[in-house]
Amino acid sequence: MRRLLAALAQGGVGARFVGGCVRDTLLGRAIGDIDLAVDKPPDLVVRALEAATIKVVPTGIKHGTVTAVIERRPFELTTLRRDVETDGRRAVVAFTDDWLIDASRRDFTFNALYAASDGTLFDPFDGRTDLAAGRVRFIGDADRRIAEDRLRVLRFFRFYAWFGRPPLDGAGFAACRRNAATLGALSAERVAKELLRLLAAPAPADALEAMVEAGALDHWLPEVFGTRILRALIDREGDQPDPLRRLAAIVPTPVVAKRLRLSTQETLRLELMLSPEYEVQLDGDARNLRAQVYRLGTSLFVDRVLLAVEAPGDWRAAVALARSWTPPDLPVTGADALKLGLKPGRKIGQLLDAVERWWIAGDFAADRAACLVELERLVAEA
């Protein structure tokens, strides 16, 4: 970071840390990405970095963003901007050297915090006070901010889930309610990303209920049936939140995956978590639990147990068993059946299924030799 700042200063480029890294530092939280705002156009920023032999990637040059890479770590640098034109989804911007103009186009007060390299804070909208109070407050007129980017309705609730405390900012909530009907014009990918980031918050249930009240989910997730299962799931997950699993806790059907254009892998996992075919029973003994782990696989079994908040039985013991026991592989294969003189075909699969059921019923105790004997017995009977 010192090398980056020195290169910018040498090139006459003013730079300040901005956004999440400043906000998280003030909260004493771990910092993820480090973003900087700079007061010179991208071509001058690139020139300053290249003069210091720093690798530069033009990741968003049209919008004033370049990425500096130092020791394989990326740092985004974005030129101060003003909006020329917005349509609720994307903006046409022009570059400026005015820090207040750049701050004025941002969404919430605590996202318009800038810090100089010496730690001096530039806080034009009292975002630090809002952050300390857990208040998510739009900069200026909330309806205007939302008109610039409709996604800010969802961001209002997402930031409340991560940083807010009751009560919600009244003016912001009212503006989100007034503009909720416009969310249908957003892309599914942007909406899905925002929703999953919200669900990854430590305790997102209150924010989700506020979204339902505001009508912010009417278009994209009208199936949401409440937060009772979600709240129980959050208690069970502890410090291992899983946003996709939490999505399964608030919707009754995986049809939302297609609507949100989730990935193939995410769609399949959501279908498995919600399918009635894969219900779990937690009131059996360890043998029964191991059989279920073997049938479902460890990950799906844990998902289903954590979501089964009304199922009788000890869910903690079930999760502990699943995470400590590795399901074995069936000791015999189709090759063993072929060696016994059977011809390739459906019959081999049926015999192996029968051996597997016998092996599971014996709590996986039978070794390869015993399984071969059982296979030979079944072949002889056949």
pLDDT, one tens digit per residue, over 296-317 is 999 999 999 999 999 999 999 9
- CATH topology for 135-274 is cca-adding enzyme, domain 2 (1.10.3090)
pLDDT digits (tens, 9 = 90+) for 337-376: 999 988 899 999 999 999 999 999 999 999 999 999 999 9
86's enclosing H/E stretch is strand 81-86
pLDDT digits (tens, 9 = 90+) for 193-206: 999 999 999 999 99
pLDDT digits (tens, 9 = 90+) for 134-156: 999 999 999 999 999 999 999 99
pLDDT mean over 86-115: 89
For tokens 């994209």, the residue is: 220
What's the CA gap between 340 and 152, in Å, rounded?
67
For CA atoms 17, 22, 28, 30, the dihedral sign is negative
pLDDT band at 60 (very low <50, low <70, confident <90, very high): confident
Is the pLDDT score of 132 beyond 80? Answer: yes
354's enclosing H/E stretch is helix 346-361
Is the backbone of residue 360 left (phi > 0), alpha (psi -120 to 50) or beta?
alpha
pLDDT digits (tens, 9 = 90+) for 249-286: 999 999 999 999 999 999 999 999 999 999 999 999 99
- pLDDT of res. 282: 95
Numbered ranges of CATH 1.10.3090.10 in the chain: 135-274
Rounded to 5°, angle at Cα 187 from 183 and 189: 120
Is the pLDDT score of 90 beyond 90? Answer: no
Numbered ranges of CATH 3.30.460.10 in the chain: 1-133
Helix (H, G, I), strand (E, B) or coil at 108: strand
pLDDT digits (tens, 9 = 90+) for 151-160: 999 999 999 9
Asked if the peptide bond before residue 166 counts as cis, ω within 30 degrees of 0, the response is: no
* Residue 208 contacts residue 230 (beta carbons within 8 Å): yes
Is the entire prediction scored with pTM above 0.75? Answer: yes
- CATH topology for 1-133 is Beta Polymerase; domain 2 (3.30.460)
